[in-house]
């Protein structure tokens, strides 16, 4: 009976270590499958119109994306006293003026 228990214990130990090796191999394979990409090109600097960017991965994969540029403008009436400035330089902070905001 003791021999049978020893035999079963050895089989159990060997099967556990084999499973751990398989798991580690799977993890290593997933790491090998990971792809790293370069920065997007061209850079996004002071663009005034829509454009397309691309980047290439370490495995040759090319990704593209379109950047849509739009301009929004708004005119907001405001009061000099709110900003504590004298826009028209008349010596007071009581005048209304239009603030143009473009994004």
Check pLDDT > 70 for residue 15: no
What does the alpha-carbon distance between residue 81 and residue 87 come to, in Å, rounded to a whole number?
10
102-to-46, 74, 99 alpha-carbon distances in Å: 14, 7, 10
Residue ranges making up the domain that contains 80: 73-102
Do 82 and 62 share a structural domain?
Answer: no
Check pLDDT > 60 for residue 18: no
Do 25 and 3 share a structural domain?
Answer: yes
Do 41 and 18 share a structural domain?
Answer: no
Q: Which two tokens stand for residue 76?
A: 């907001």
Question: Quick one: pLDDT at residue 35?
Answer: 85
In the DSSP assignment, the letter for residue 67 is: E
Angle CA 34–40–44, to nearest 5: 155
> pLDDT of 25-77, one tens digit each?
666 666 666 788 999 988 877 777 889 999 999 888 999 999 888 888 888 77
Count of structural domains within the chain? 3
Do 19 and 46 share a structural domain?
Answer: no
Check pLDDT > 70 for residue 100: yes
Q: Contact at 8 Å (CB) between 96 and 73?
A: no
User: What's the rounded mean pLDDT across residues 73-99?
Assistant: 73
């Amino acid at each position: 009976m003791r021999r049978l228990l020893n035999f079963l214990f050895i089989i159990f130990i060997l099967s556990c270590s084999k499973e751990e090796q398989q798991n580690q191999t799977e993890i290593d394979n997933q790491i090998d499958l990971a792809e790293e990409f370069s920065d997007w090109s061209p850079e996004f600097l002071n663009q005034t119109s829509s454009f397309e960017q691309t980047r290439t991965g370490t495995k040759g994969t090319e990704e593209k994306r379109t950047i849509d540029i739009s301009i929004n403008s708004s005119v907001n009436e405001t009061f000099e006293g709110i900003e504590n400035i004298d826009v028209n330089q008349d010596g007071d902070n009581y005048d209304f003026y239009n603030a143009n905001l473009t994004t």
